[in-house]
Amino acid sequence: MAKQNKEEGKKPAFESRLGNIRVSVWQNTSDNGDWFNTVITRRYKDGDEWRDTNTFNGLADLALVAEAYRLARQYITEHELGFGELAA
């Protein structure tokens, strides 16, 4: 089975936005099995252009990052234990 990941235009298996914080969980598959990668970013506007960064500002952003982490962990845990089929 060929490796599948975000570079091939695949959508995230899970994505959630919390204010300007976004968490994306990517499910990857190879001959060795499945695994998940998680990306948490902060969106901001630079002039007229929207950008993403992995730098977070202050306690407010960190609270959202903690919640994003919790949501990603819950999604991955449910899918690794086989409870996530209904959510997929």
d(CA 4, CA 38): 15
Tokens of 37: 């990668």
| Runs of H (alpha helix) within 1-88 | 58-80
DSSP code of 81? T
Q: What is the mean pLDDT of residues 16-25?
A: 98
Owner of token pair 């969106």: 43
Q: Over the stretch 30-66, which tens digit does the pLDDT of each residue have?
A: 998 889 999 999 999 999 999 999 999 999 999 999 9
Domain ranges of the chain: 6-80
pTM for the full predicted model: 0.79
